[in-house]
Amino acid sequence: MSEEQDLAQQKKEAAAKAKAAALARRQSKESVTEEREGNMNVAKQKAAAAAKAKAVALARRQSKESVTGEPEGNMDVAKQKAAAAAKAKAAALARKQSKESGIEESEGNMDVAKQKAAAAAKAKAAALARKQSKESGIEESEGNMDVAKQKAAAAAKAKAAALARKQSKESGIEESEGNMDVAKQKAAAAAKAKAAALAKKKELVGKEEDPEKAKAKAIAAAKAKAAAAAKTRARVEESTEVHTDEPSPNQSILDQIVQAIERNLGQGALTDYYINNLSKDVPTLVAKPDTYFQIAKILRYDEQLNFHYLSELHGTDFETHMEIYVHLYSFNTNNSAALKVKLDRDSPVVPSLVPLWSGANWPECEAYDLLGILFQGHPDLKRILLGEDWVGYPLRKDYQPYDAEV
């Protein structure tokens, strides 16, 4: 064979190699995902080994059939043909393996796509159901439920279609129309099942109520809530109560005050005395109207008691009677005491404490201004908040404005 023929043969083989390489690159781009580098290397090594074995066997066979005196050029041509055939065989085997790998991966991706589409449809239906449940004050009617189902199904279909399109773009091979339809149908079926389950759950709670029933239900719920709050407050009060068998730390102070009063005024001067557990265990004394000033004087000037600071004085209308409350403090002993007196509501009159504590001046004027309590012996009893021509006392429970329109 001449050199020109050898050159033409080599060009044909080079073209065949370039075509095979281009076909391999095209198949590699069309695959769903790139095959792992290790597996590709193994496949190439196996194909190369098979090609070499095939070439060696073909060379042996051609060598036996050829004439002994055949030129060396013909032997080279035979080897080149055998190598080209082996490479073509290896390329065909690689294409077959690539197609099989692409089919398996596409099926796996289809399963993943179906699962993702179903999960996305379920999440979308659940979110839509929660949103509709919050926005609706009462349970939706059957017509609204159908609309909600249709919206959930449409949203699920759109979500599934978008996901399928995205995966189709990422994939090197296009999914068939049959597989796409199956994925959409499954996603729609999952969304419908979710919406139906939500509808059944709402139906178990109860049908739609009319406004009157809904209002009655809301009132009952409010009453139940108020009752629960009352029970909670009762439990808190019970837990904070001090048991009678546990003496108060201020019991000795109360005993000392009572002894001083009884020593000076006798045992009938007080109507009651106790430790106020709700007000930091303050020793509290309840005086009669005619002993009110004398008891206050003892509290002020007794050397052991010495309550020389009046921190508070106010009046209260209890509807059955009026009451004056006085809070005293001793800077010498760091002790506190409270003095109370109950007055007739129709004619509330009591001696003024201004001669004992000058700080009682304005509080007594305020009690006179708002409750109408008269303090005998007050140096300047007058209204300090309202005018002198004001009719009535605003803090009395039966107070009615003189000019209601104003």
What confidence tens digit (pLDDT) does each residue in 128-165 have?
767 766 655 444 445 555 666 677 667 767 776 777 67
Largest CA distance in the chain: 157
Q: Of the candidates 101, 121, 152, which is a domain's last residue?
A: 101
Give percent above pLDDT 90 in the chain: 33
User: So what's the pLDDT on residue 186?
Assistant: 74
Which comes out higher in pLDDT, residue 67 or 317?
317
**Residue 306, domain member (yes or no):** yes
**Residue 367, domain member (yes or no):** yes
User: So what's the pLDDT on residue 24?
Assistant: 78
User: So what's the pLDDT on residue 189?
Assistant: 74
Degrees (nearest 5) of the Cα angle 67, 71, 74? Answer: 90
Which comes out higher in pLDDT, residue 28 or 173?
28
pLDDT of 175 higher than 50: no
Report the distance separating Cα 51 and Cα 90, nearest Å. 7
Distance between terminal CA atoms of the chain? 131
Which comes out higher in pLDDT, residue 306 or 68?
306
**DSSP one-letter code for 207:** P
Which residue reads 């599934």 in tokens?
Answer: 160
pLDDT of 291 higher than 90: yes
pLDDT of 278 higher than 60: yes
User: So what's the pLDDT on residue 255?
Assistant: 94
Note if the pTM is more than 0.85. no
CATH number reported for the structural domain that contains residue 368 in this entry: 3.30.460.80
* Residues 321 and 345 sit within 8 Å (Cβ to Cβ): yes
Q: What is the mean pLDDT of residues 172-181?
A: 53
**Residue 37, domain member (yes or no):** yes
User: So what's the pLDDT on residue 205?
Assistant: 56
> Crossing angle, helix 3-30 and helix 72-135, to 10 degrees?
10
Report the distance separating Cα 144 and Cα 255, nearest Å. 75
**Residues 334-376 pLDDT 10s:** 999 999 999 999 999 999 999 999 999 999 999 999 999 999 9
Domain that holds residue 332: 251-376
**Residue 387, domain member (yes or no):** no
Residue type, 19: K
**Residue 66, domain member (yes or no):** yes
> Crossing angle, helix 292-301 and helix 251-265, to 10 degrees?
120
* Residues 318 and 340 sit within 8 Å (Cβ to Cβ): no
Degrees (nearest 5) of the Cα angle 243, 247, 252? Answer: 150
User: So what's the pLDDT on residue 64?
Assistant: 59
**Residues 225-264 pLDDT 10s:** 888 888 888 877 766 554 455 788 999 999 999 999 999 9
pLDDT of 211 higher than 60: yes
**Residue 20, domain member (yes or no):** yes
Q: Of the candidates 101, 136, 169, which is a domain's last residue?
A: 101
Q: Burial, 30: exposed, middle or buried (Cβ in 10 Å; 0-12, 13-18, 19+)?
A: middle
**Residues 57-107 pLDDT 10s:** 666 776 555 444 444 455 566 567 766 776 777 677 767 766 665 544 445
Look at the chain and report how many structural domains it folds into.
2
User: So what's the pLDDT on residue 138?
Assistant: 43
Q: Of the candidates 101, 129, 152, which is a domain's last residue?
A: 101
In three-state form (DSSP H/G/I as H, E/B as E, the rest C), the secondary structure along the chain is CCHHHHHHHHHHHHHHHHHHHHHHHHHHHHCCCCCCHHHHHHHHHHHHHHHHHHHHHHHHHHHHHCCCCCCHHHHHHHHHHHHHHHHHHHHHHHHHHHHHHHHHHHHHHHHHHHHHHHHHHHHHHHHHHHHHHHHCCCCCCHHHHHHHHHHHHHHHHHHHHHHHHHHHHHCCCCCCHHHHHHHHHHHHHHHHHHHHHHHHHHHHHCCCCCHHHHHHHHHHHHHHHHHHHHHHHHHHHHHHCCCCCCCCCCHHHHHHHHHHHHHHHCHHHEEEEEEECCCCCEEEEEECCCCHHHHHHHHHHCCCCCCCEEEEEEEEECCCCEEEEEEEEECCCCEEEEEEEEECCCCCEEECCCCCCHHHHHHHHHHHHHHCCEEECCCCCCCCCCCCCCCCCCCCCCCCCCCCCC
**Residue 62, domain member (yes or no):** yes
**Residue 307, domain member (yes or no):** yes
